[in-house]
Amino acid sequence: MLRLHSRFLQLLLLTMVGSATCARADDRFPPYDNTEEVKAFWKSKPDFFQWKTPADLPPNLKWVNNADLPEFGDPEARKGGTLHLDVSSYPPTFRIIGPDANNSFRSEHHDNVYAWIVTRHPNEDAWVPGMADEWAISEDKKTIYFKLDPKVTFSDGTPIEVEDFFMTFYIMLSPYIKDPWYNDYFSREFSAITKYDDRTFSFTIPSPKPDPMWYVGDFQPMSRKFYIEFGPDFPARYQWRKAPSTGAYDIGPDGINQSRSVTLHRVKDWWAKDKKNFRYRFNPDFIEFKVIANMDKGYEMFRQGKLDFFYSSTPRYWYDKSEIPEIYNGYIERHVFYNEFPRVSRGIYLNQRMPLLDNQDIRLGINYALNFKQVIDVDLRGDAVRMQSTFAGFGKYTSPELRARPFDVGKAQEHFTKAGFSKRGPDGVLVNGEGKRLSLTLTCPNSGPFVPIALRLKENALKAGLELKVEGLDMVQLFKKMDQKNHEMAFAGWAAQPPYPRFWEYYHSDNAWKVQPDGTKKIVPDTNNVTMTADPALDPLIMQQREAQTEEEVQRISWHLEKLIEDRACAIPAWESPFYRYSCWRWLRFPKDGNVKASQMPLDSFVFWIDEGMKEETKKAMREGHSYGEIMRTFDKYRKN
């Protein structure tokens, strides 16, 4: 799967300019037209960019559309209304690639919104149509063919053509994007793209995959019209430009309120509005994201009806702050949904390029010095369990032998002693023979429960002689610090994507250091290798797993890699839960089963809708003092015993 999904960093729960300013900013850049450059690039790689005819298609292709699969989405869903949500910080850019593009808001305006070429059915183990109506896979599983829906367009109304998929390669292979992850991925994972006619094209990959659709199904075309000015100044020129989407929502000039909010609007006459598996989804006309940095303030605005939804997963909001009339009277409902999806890799990640953390005994000692059991028992009130590995939730691809190291002061001190820290100073912090203190900074989000949890970890770590200095940052600062590899210990979590773990982006040397011509090493920024792992023993295995051709081979190598990474002790798993829970005003409606099985978060499947009639009814009931009674819904259809 492309990093358009897998690189989205979810932190544990999960200066913008207005339209007039955008125009002035664009005046800084002279007109530019890359049409001839693009054509020349395609022409320079005739083996990669190919134009053929329908007669060149293999005669024995088996075209598939899976039309017999049940539709997801609720026919009772209604279009209209505005969904009011909150975000903790303003997006640093609207670009989906390049510097600072790896921010949490990208999922809201892009990752969760755009239409895939084919879509993974969230309740079935199969693919269904997206931008393509039909698809086929060659017998050797190296070439994947698609027939585009003739109606498919970008959100600006421009028809999507096969050459827009060609354009994606021109952009993703370019050094102009300043994003080495994409440069590597698109150079390694594809060997050709071929056009047969205006609707039919194929991707060829270098080697067979167990299911090659996972590698190409979410591939996004990039509008040649929009990116006609793509060139050396791309990051600055396109910093605040919103690319047209293939999905149901876009952001227009009226949706930008400088540093305060961003509003998505449903695309008028969207090409997929009547298409199966799309027609009962993406229902609100508008989705407004208000910037609210403080969760307590967000919760109060939620109580006032200024927000429709609140992710109340933590005990503070699920228990303590739920003792309110709005919940007692059923105006606000609480929902629990058991899902099946790889778990957010929530944990503490140690930057091995930093002093102290380059010592394995220090890392092992830290593992034993963190009391996550107490965090789960006290802060989370037993509503979660210890995650045994940051690779949890991948089914057969997660090794059952992995175990998180428990809190153990004796073992922590044993490893710290091996690293030379055997004496305690007057404040209880261990020091080595040179008088250096065993002191590190733990960086975490400054919202939600994370600072209190970090302080609890700090309190217990001191029992083992480890000083943790807690640094709470807002989301933008935290992303930036981790992307630049300037943290020591970071409390973070990545949104994992099926079907199996991706090791290359998180643990391969290419995403940690770049060797310069003079032999020196330079940090590679803007990658997910925040542990700065660079191990010659791991790299070949990572590439073997990346190129594995069978499920059995992927499983075998994945288990081996998981064990080796566990041995490095650079990623400390925190907690996980088999469900998510949230609160919403009763007019925010969900299907009778609550959601789709493979939903990671409550809103990412877009099967909800706003019942405007129920909204008015509820407001009237509040004015008149009518109660519906407290309502908590538990959806456990997909709960595993």
Complete DSSP assignment for 492-552:
EEE---SSS---HHHH-GGGTEEE-TTS-EEE--SSS-TT----TTHHHHHHHHHT--SHH
Maximum Cα–Cα distance across the chain: 82
Rounded to the nearest 5°, which phi and psi values hold at 454?
A: -60, -35
Per-residue pLDDT tens over the stretch 102-114: 888 998 999 999 9
pLDDT, residue 16, reads 30
Q: Which of 376, 387, 344, 345 is nearest to 599 (CA)?
A: 344
Residues 6+ apart with CB under 8 A from 414: 365
Q: What is the pLDDT of residue 58?
A: 97
pLDDT of residue 181: 84
Instruction: Provide mean pLDDT across the span 326-341.
Output: 97
Q: Which pLDDT belongs to residue 20?
A: 31
User: Is residue 22 predicted with pLDDT exceeding 80?
Assistant: no
Q: How confident is the model at residue 575 (pLDDT cuts 50, 70, 90)?
A: very high
466 pLDDT band, cuts 50/70/90, is very high
Domains of the chain, with CATH numbers? Answer: 3-74+93-101+109-241 (3.90.76.10), 292-339+578-635 (no CATH), 347-576 (3.10.105.10)
Would you place residue 26 in the very low, low, confident or very high pLDDT band (cuts 50, 70, 90)?
Answer: low
Neighbouring C-alpha atoms within 13 Å toward the C-beta of 399: 18
Condensed to tens digits (0 to 9), the pLDDT of residues 373-427 reads: 999 999 999 999 999 999 988 989 999 999 999 999 999 999 999 999 999 999 9
Q: How many CB atoms lie within 10 A of CB 621?
A: 16
Using DSSP's 3-state secondary structure scheme, residue 223 falls into coil
User: What is the token pair recorded at 232?
Assistant: 């050396």
pLDDT value, residue 11: 39
The DSSP 8-state label assigned to residue 162 in this structure reads H
Cα separation, 502 vs 8, in Å, equals 13
Q: Is the pLDDT of residue 3 over 80?
A: no
Share of the chain above pLDDT 70, in %: 96
- Mean pLDDT computed over 184-206: 97
Cα separation of 178 and 294, whole Å? 33
Give the pLDDT score at 568: 97
Q: Which residues contact 460 (CB under 8 A, 6 or more apart)?
A: 369, 370, 371, 374, 407
Task: Please tell me whether residue 65 adopts helix, strand or coil conformation.
Answer: coil
Average pLDDT over residues 575-598: 96
Tens of pLDDT, residues 113-122:
999 999 999 9
Mean pLDDT to the nearest integer, 160-187 = 95
Residue-level pLDDT at 343: 86
The per-residue pLDDT for 28 is 84
Task: For residues 332 and 334, give the distance between their C-alpha atoms in angstroms, rounded to a whole number.
Answer: 7
Q: Considering the entire predicted model, what is its pTM? A: 0.87
Give the pLDDT score at 39.
Answer: 98
Taking all residues of the chain, what is their mean pLDDT, rounded to a whole number?
Answer: 93
Whole-angstrom distance, CA of residue 514 vs CA of residue 175: 15
Q: Using pLDDT thresholds of 50, 70 and 90, give the confidence band for residue 496.
A: confident
Please give the pLDDT value at position 479: 86
CA-CA distance, 69 to 424, in Å (whole number)? 65
**Phi and psi torsions of 163, nearest 5°:** -65, -20
What pLDDT is attached to residue 475?
A: 82
